[in-house]
A = this chain, B = another copy of it.
């Protein structure tokens, strides 16, 4: 575990940054990632010229993966570090209320906390061939905590949210688009061009127009409250401490959780196998 940068910021212009997430070997979300995100949001909020940020991944197979579970409770000694359970809701609230527009460009797997991070972004565009979304928690005796249920309930409606949350399976970009939890599925070969053009377009508009637009949409469409997010995070913590969840976690670890290989690549299918045992 090092403190090297997991977020590589590419400043395309004063108004448009790309943030490239890179955390080998599995692009897991970990406390060091969270610390860097907290530093980033601080910078974003202070910058008066920035208008749009695009989150993408250096790993073609994983946009962003689940928690690095073993280190989940670590609070490292570095700028921005904070307890995930208590402070993730605050980060989501800041990102969704920021005057800067955030876009997740999803190629590869967005799983559990990684899916929830994508949902916390203002907009999502995904590769038709290479994006996969899953809230795997229910397959491991747990329950999603980081905001997934909040955003999916609003974007996909009750019945599809139940399918995603309780089924813990993979959903590709076409279904994600039909279910309404991404803006659009795009052919992989067009994804980069499309998102880049869209970001540059936004970057060329007046910041006060973008900010007013986002504020009013937030007011009308609603965003999950910090209290709702906080509550879900604590239900996750409570469910995770159950013997059943501990047992399921052991089985998943034995099956290959946390190691680059078949289990991590095909966890949607593999959780079905485990369930049938």
Contacts of A165 in B (CB 8 A): 213-214, 216-217
Contacts of A180 in B (CB 8 A): 157, 160, 180
Q: Are B220 and A166 in contact (CB under 8 A)?
A: no
Is there contact, CB below 8 Å, between B213 and A143? yes
Complex contacts, A152 vs chain B, CB 8 Å = 217
Interface flag for A31 (CB, 8 Å) = no
Known: A166-B101, A209-B138. A220 touches B153 (CB 8 A): yes
The answer to whether A167 has its CB under 8 Å from any CB of chain B is yes
User: How near does chain B come to A115, taking the closest CB pair, in angstroms?
Assistant: 14
CA distance A33 to B154 in the complex (A): 34
Say yes or no for A208: interface residue by CB 8 A criterion.
yes
Dominant secondary structure at the A interface:
helix
A-B pairs with beta carbons under 8 Å apart, 18 shown? A123-B162, A142-B209, A149-B216, A153-B217, A155-B159, A158-B221, A161-B220, A163-B198, A165-B214, A169-B201, A177-B178, A178-B178, A200-B276, A201-B272, A204-B277, A209-B245, A212-B239, A216-B232
How far apart are the CA atoms of A160 and B154 in the complex, in Å? 12
Q: Which of A3-11, A35-43, A82-90, A222-230 contacts B (4 or more CB under 8 A)?
A: A222-230
Question: Which of A57-74 touch B at CB < 8 Å?
Answer: none
Contact B202 A167 (CB under 8 A): yes
A244 at the interface (CB under 8 A from B): yes
Q: Check A122–B159 contact: CB distance below 8 A.
A: yes
